[in-house]
Amino acid sequence: MTIRPVAARDVHTIAALQVRAWRAEYEGFVDEDHMPTLDDRIGLWNGVRPGEAWLAEQEGTIVGVVGVANGEIGVLHVDPVVPPETSVEVDHLLLAHAEEIMRSAGHTTALLWTFRENRHSRALYERHGWTPDGAEQERLPGVSEIRYRRML
């Protein structure tokens, strides 16, 4: 498995991966009206600057993506079609990579937001030493996000 920077040629594939991941991870507590569309995600990924996002590839197939900006992880998704044992490895590699990127940029503390109901991601972050810092917000109606913090 390799990790490399996101390139322009990856935008459509990553956008589709993120739409699949949202549906797999958040269905049941994020309303259909607030699920991302492919066009919405393509627009988002077209705006990514160099040094803000990386992807995990396995045998030439993109299996996950992580985005980092200003000491904060803004996105971390693994394609839901990836087998569970590989998904765990991809999650770990991308999270560790993001932490190293932030550390190398001089950050001593890192942040990320996740949905309160997203038990899978919360468990992953906690295994890596992230802890909720008490901040909460509601960017989508009826869906609470909690902020995690980690010393780097």
pLDDT digits (tens, 9 = 90+) for 100-129: 999 999 999 999 999 999 998 999 999 999
User: Phi first, then psi: what are they for 130, rounded to 5°?
Assistant: -85, 145
How far is the C-alpha of 41 from the C-alpha of 70, rounded, in Å?
Answer: 21
CATH code of 24's domain: 3.40.630.30
Q: Is the pLDDT of residue 5 over 90?
A: yes
Nearest Cα residue to 152 out of 108, 111, 113 = 108
pLDDT digits (tens, 9 = 90+) for 53-67: 999 999 999 999 999
Q: How many domains does the chain have?
A: 1
By mean pLDDT, which of 17-21, 44-48, 129-133 is the weakest? Answer: 44-48
Asked whether the beta carbons of 145 and 132 are under 8 A apart, the reply is no
Q: In what order do the strands lie in the sheet with 131-140?
A: 2-5, 53-58, 61-69, 72-78, 109-115, 143-151, 131-140
Q: What is the domain range of residue 101?
A: 2-151
Alpha helices in 27-73 (DSSP H): 38-46
Q: Is the pLDDT of residue 29 over 90?
A: no
What is residue 23's three-state secondary structure?
A: helix
Q: What is the DSSP letter of 108?
A: S
How far is the C-alpha of 135 from the C-alpha of 117, rounded, in Å?
Answer: 15
Please give the model's pTM, rounded to 2 decimal places.
0.92
Task: Indicate the pairing of strand 109-115 with strand 143-151.
Answer: antiparallel
